Amino acid sequence: MNRPQALRRQRLLAELPASSVAVIAAGYEQIRSRDTDYPFRNNSDFWYLTGFPEPEALLILTKDEAGQCSELLLCRDKDAEKEVWQGRRFGPEQAQQQFGITAASLSAQQAQLAAALKGKQQLWFCFGEDETLHHLLHQCQQQIRRTPRQSELAPQQQCNLRPLLSELRLFKDEHEITLMQQAATISAQAHKAAMQLCQPGMQEYQLEACIQYHCAMQGARYAAYNPIVGGGENACILHYTENNAGLRDGDLVLIDAGCELMGYAADITRTFPVNGRFSKEQAALYQLVLDAQLAALAEIKPGSSFALATQACYRVLTEGLHQLGILQGELSALIEAEAAKPWMIHSLGHWLGLDVHDVGAYQPKGSPPEPGAKNRPFEPGMVLTVEPGLYIPKGSDTDPKWWGIGIRIEDDVLVTAEGHRNLTAAVPKTIAEIEALMAAGKGTGDGQFD
């Protein structure tokens, strides 16, 4: 069996001690309003290990005292009446054939779980993430303990599966890298389309619609997160998602958007002038953010870290803000104090994968916990974002000519043995490239849905 999910299950089982059972639950359908649900999106851990798309399922992985392993998928039965109303189901037989894992009916989950738990020393699941699963496991253990004259006991230890799964998911396999590059390419094309479509008088949500339409037409129907389209001072709100304001001549617009493809996220931010031409002040700050990103990207390589990349970023930002007069004082002291932080109010980046802010430790294994520290050395197979920004809202303690400017530039980066690969390099980000692309599409809408 060479399905990537089967190999991932094998790697997880290899990490579990003998006499263990691990339980991972699928997601659940969520009600949106009367008789309607939100679009279903499966639990990332469950999807990572199975590729099975239906809700309510369970994955049970066991390792006995001799180290022998078994896998079982519990899923909903076929149901002709419900399938007429709610859509087709795989059922256990078809699920086993298509997904390469032993499958059984979810209706027998209590008995199947009890059988898996009996006699095991350790029960592994992700703590604090799924109350329904936690309650089910508690019921099964209580059932075992209350059964008279039994020769086997319920697990004596409960162990958090999150650290093991997070470590596995942090390092992307070739299948994941291929999907992430596809998601990045689709999202990159959508950003280019939005740049060419943009003109004064449009609404922010029209650029959002352009991005979503283009991604869907390329096979990525869902956004990886709620898109951010912030014109003017709205760009200074980091997670602005109202996207309901007009785009004004002379303002910048910041778009932070990416599609989800087969569960994997892209995450791109570009900032560009609504009218296609940067003003003097906009260009000065934009070039500074771009220079800071390039300095940070130079640090993305094995053995480096977010901490080192952030230092490189802050140095460039501090020097540039000092030259522009936004920061004043002795430059060396400003650099030492990381004086640019009030103007870049978020971290440099985050892990990326099945979740936009993906799982994975940011500190080295065995190191003392240090809140906010991101000093884990980069290794090949990690995927992360690099996204410096500058945000100067109205009323700031600066010359008013800078007010209302928010800029962020974000790319998705794969760490390789040689250094890194920018998965989203196809989106223009130099001032000349952006202005040329927007000029080519201005007034015609050409290219927005290519």
The structure tokens 């998965």 sit at 423
Annotated catalytic, 286?
no
Residue from 32, 88, 145, 239 carrying the catalytic annotation: 239
Residue from 391, 411, 412, 435 carrying the catalytic annotation: 391
Annotated catalytic, 433?
no
Residue from 350, 411, 412, 435 carrying the catalytic annotation: 350
Residue from 299, 387, 412, 435 carrying the catalytic annotation: 387
Residue from 8, 9, 322, 408 carrying the catalytic annotation: 408
Annotated catalytic, 89?
no
Annotated catalytic, 370?
no
Residue from 204, 267, 355, 358 carrying the catalytic annotation: 267
Annotated catalytic, 357?
yes
Annotated catalytic, 77?
no
Residue from 130, 256, 358, 412 carrying the catalytic annotation: 256
Annotated catalytic, 267?
yes
Residue from 176, 299, 410, 412 carrying the catalytic annotation: 410
Distance between CA 357 and CA 378 in Å, rounded? Answer: 17
Q: What are the catalytic residues?
A: 35, 239, 256, 267, 346, 350, 357, 387, 391, 408, 410
